[in-house]
Structure 1
Amino acid sequence: MKHHFITIEGNIGAGKTTLAHLLAKKLNARLILEEFADNPFLPRFYENPKQYAFPLELFFMAERFKQLKEMLHTNDLFQHITVSDYLFTKCLLFAKVTLPEEEFRLYQKLFDIIHQQLLFPDILIYLHAPVERLQANIRKRNRAYEQHIPDDYLLNLQDTYTSYIRQHNIKTLFVDASNADFLGNDAHLQVILDALEQDFPEGQHYISLP
């Protein structure tokens, strides 16, 4: 395996956690999953974004930092690969969409202080799906607080992600996940596994699923 720290990203409902579970099993990798359900501000944020955006994003940043620092700085003699279903920079990208300008500037200062203490992944797998597919996946998993996410919010997140990846020239497998079925179609998962065996240069590398 060319990559020892693999991170999966994408919009809400893109299928990040499903793919992370499958890759970790296939690669005998240590798995890091985002613990979003423990954020007490999440349901309140979807009801009243202006009031709860800042504490929501601060809580997420603190929890993600704590989890990644503990996991990535602990050696595991039996698992030499780590798969995560989120990129720490996700904190900044979501905050950019949810926070007003003054609060975002403060948030960014805090982010910059702690971000440098974490390892960056060897490769990023970005799952790109149209908003219609994201909304269908969100309805299917049926988390009550997610059922009224506006299309515009998902579009803003999508644009923020892709802009960040391209601006920073991150080594990224950009996967068209419009019709992805990693659980039900072994060929889709195999495309990702085969790609991870290659040594890609920096930049974005676009992958289609059969």
Structure 2
Amino acid sequence: MFIGLAGPTGAGKTTLAHRIAERLKAHLMRDPFVDNPYLPKLYASGKTHPVALTLQVELTFLALRVAQLREIRDLLIHGTPVVADWSMAQQVVFAHTTLPPEDASRVRKTYATWSDAGARPDLLIALTAPASVLARRIAQRGRPMEAALSIAYLEHLARAFDTPLHDYASRIIRLDTSDFNAFNDEDVNALLARLPALERS
């Protein structure tokens, strides 16, 4: 099984992916954001993102994520389940929040062109949380490049993820993490209990 996660910055994707991978004895595939040299520049640019810079960010992410999807496909072929703290839904949603509509549409079409080049999640867990919760978590983890993210931007981002995501996975679970604690075994167990039912449906 391949489980992907989607959601705004600060929703808890990495923490939850780690817990699920641990419980399912799956390979954890981390978002390659640390390998994108343009991302810190984008965050530092504040409210006005230069189009050239946002395009560099999105196209770099596309290359990094397609490469990871191919790696995931190989792991699945050899019988290794995979949990990723990202999905290609991230790619398209973020493009629509940062790029002009015509460029965001081109990113979506480019993703579609490459969609058969790697694995597609069997399940996508789509996380959400209010902007105030996202901001608190971002402050707690203290990444310097995220320091300039505003409440207004996080509200916009959270709304952007509240869209149909069925193009990106066979099954979808939506999860509000404002009242979900990924460090609480009962919460994680309740989520995992929903997986077999999805596999049989």
Settle same-fold status: TM greater than 0.5: yes
What is the CA distance between 1:166 and its match in structure 2?
A: 6.9
1:14-44: CA deviations, max 9, x gaps? 1111111111111111211112111110111
Instruction: Find the counterpart in structure 2 of residue 69 from structure 1.
Output: 70
Distance 1:85 1:53 in 2: 22
Unaligned 5+ runs, structure 1? 203-210
Distance 2:108 2:173 in 1: 26
Distance 1:124 1:168 in 2: 8
Q: 1:36 aligns with which of 12, 33, 40?
A: 33
What is the CA distance between 1:167 and its match in structure 2?
A: 8.5
Normalising to structure 1: TM-score of the pair? 0.84
What is the CA distance between 1:168 and its match in structure 2?
A: 8.2
Question: What fraction of aligned residue pairs are identical, expressed as a percent?
Answer: 31
Report the CA distance shift for 1:162/1:25 in structure 2 as closer, same or farther (over 3 A).
same
Q: What do you get for the CA RMSD once the two structures are aligned?
A: 2.3
Unaligned 5+ runs, structure 2? none
Larger relative helix fraction: 2
* Alpha-carbon contact 2:5-2:126 (below 8 Å) kept: yes
Instruction: Find the counterpart in structure 2 of residue 134 from structure 1.
Output: 134
Deviates further, 26-35 or 190-199: 190-199
Instruction: Find the counterpart in structure 1 of residue 9 from structure 2.
Output: 12
Deviates further, 140-149 or 49-58: 49-58
Instruction: Find the counterpart in structure 1 of residue 23 from structure 2.
Output: 26
* Alpha-carbon contact 2:12-2:127 (below 8 Å) kept: yes
Task: Map 1:1-210 to 2 at 5 A.
Answer: 4-48=1-45, 49-50=49-50, 51-75=52-76, 77=78, 80-165=80-165, 171-183=171-183, 185-199=184-198
Report the CA distance shift for 1:168/1:24 in structure 2 as closer, same or farther (over 3 A).
closer
Partner letter of residue 39 of structure 1? N
Task: Spell out structure 1 runs of 4+ moving beyond 3 A.
Answer: 74-77, 166-170
* Alpha-carbon contact 1:14-1:129 (below 8 Å) kept: yes
